[in-house]
């Protein structure tokens, strides 16, 4: 048996999320169906670094699977892409050791969130950016973003649905970049709680609108109360950009 590590991009628009469900088209289900076909009907489970919600995109999601098929890494990518629909793209396949696990071996993740600040919406970007036509103080947003850096209890930025007990996470970097009328928020951390990036973004948008002051961020973190933070930003602007591992070959 060989363990394969796969980097995949997908447009989340037409998926009911990453993870298989009793009904609805999912990224995991679509990929597993193709792998099962390649394995002559034998079911193959794939294990991702984490799930993404309906409408959330991935530029560099990672999953692994085990196989007894002996196919060179490059040929795996070509074979899978030939059978997958065109809203999923296998970007890279490599053989890894059995100790590699896409979720447990991950040392960090980077998410991007795209905000379109034009007055009118853009029909071509409607599924790929959050349209926000209101005024924003970007300098205040940058200042607030910097206050998330470091290790904190992120209870205030976690969905009430979250069942994880340990809500302490480390944010390594949180940048707010402007390019034309597109604002991209780039956050890299040790890991993220359910809805955490979208709540961080929603909170920064309240800062940008002047509803919250940057210096209030610390108190919101300390309050450990979801009600103190901003709204959950919509799924359509969110991209899982990269999953980091300590060593490529583990």
Q: Shortest Cβ distance from residue 53 to a copy of itself (Å)?
A: 17
Q: For tokens 């007894």, what's the residue? A: 68
| Euclidean distance between CA atoms 6 and 67, whole angstroms | 13
Q: Does the protein bind a copy of itself through residue 9 (CB under 8 A)?
A: yes
Radius of gyration over every alpha carbon of the chain, rounded to an integer in angstroms? 19
Q: Does the protein bind a copy of itself through residue 128 (CB under 8 A)?
A: yes
Residue 10 in marked binding region: no
| Euclidean distance between CA atoms 51 and 234, whole angstroms | 16
Q: What residues have CB less than 8 Å from 165, skipping those under 6 apart?
A: none
Q: Does the protein bind a copy of itself through residue 1 (CB under 8 A)?
A: no
| Euclidean distance between CA atoms 61 and 111, whole angstroms | 10
225 annotated active-site: no
Q: Shortest Cβ distance from residue 8 to a copy of itself (Å)?
A: 9
Interface stretch with a copy of itself, choices 16-24, 35-43, 103-111, 124-132 (CB under 8 A): 124-132
Q: Does the protein bind a copy of itself through residue 101 (CB under 8 A)?
A: no
Binding residue for a copy of itself (CB under 8 A) from 91, 101, 103, 224?
Answer: 91
Binding residue for a copy of itself (CB under 8 A) from 3, 5, 6, 11?
Answer: 11
| Euclidean distance between CA atoms 250 and 235, whole angstroms | 32
Q: Shortest Cβ distance from residue 121 to a copy of itself (Å)?
A: 6
Cα distances from 68 to residues 2, 40, 43, 65, 96, in angstroms, run 6, 12, 12, 10, 14
Binding residue for a copy of itself (CB under 8 A) from 10, 15, 63, 174?
Answer: 10
Measured on CA atoms in the order 221, 230, 107, 183, is the torsion positive or negative? negative
Binding residues: 111
Binding residues for substrate: 111
Give the catalytic positions in this structure: 53
Question: Which residues would be at the binding site for a copy of itself (CB under 8 A)?
Answer: 9-11, 57, 86-89, 91, 120-124, 126, 128
């Amino acid at each position: 048996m060989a363990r394969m590590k796969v980097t995949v991009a997908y447009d989340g628009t037409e998926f009911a999320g990453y993870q298989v469900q009793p009904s609805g088209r999912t990224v995991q289900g679509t990929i597993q169906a193709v792998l099962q076909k390649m394995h002559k009907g034998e079911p193959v489970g794939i294990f991702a670094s984490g799930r993404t919600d309906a409408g959330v995109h991935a530029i560099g999601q990672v999953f692994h699977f085990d196989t007894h098929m002996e196919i060179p890494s490059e040929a795996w990518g070509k074979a899978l892409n030939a059978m997958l629909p065109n809203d999923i793209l296998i970007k890279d396949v490599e053989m890894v050791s059995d100790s590699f696990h896409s979720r447990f071996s991950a040392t960090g993740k980077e998410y991007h969130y795209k905000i379109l600040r034009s007055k009118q919406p853009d029909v071509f970007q409607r599924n790929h950016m959050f349209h926000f036509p209101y005024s924003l103080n970007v300098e205040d947003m940058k200042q607030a973003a910097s206050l998330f850096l470091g290790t904190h209890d992120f209870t205030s930025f976690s969905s009430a649905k979250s069942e994880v007990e340990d809500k302490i996470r480390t944010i390594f970097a949180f940048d707010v970049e402007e390019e034309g009328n597109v604002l991209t928020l780039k956050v890299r951390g040790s890991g993220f709680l359910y809805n955490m990036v979208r709540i961080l973004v929603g909170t920064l948008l309240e800062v940008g609108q002047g509803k919250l002051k940057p210096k209030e961020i610390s108190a919101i973190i300390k309050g450990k109360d979801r009600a103190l933070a901003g709204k959950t930003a919509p799924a359509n602007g969110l991209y899982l950009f990269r999953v980091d591992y300590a060593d490529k070959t583990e």
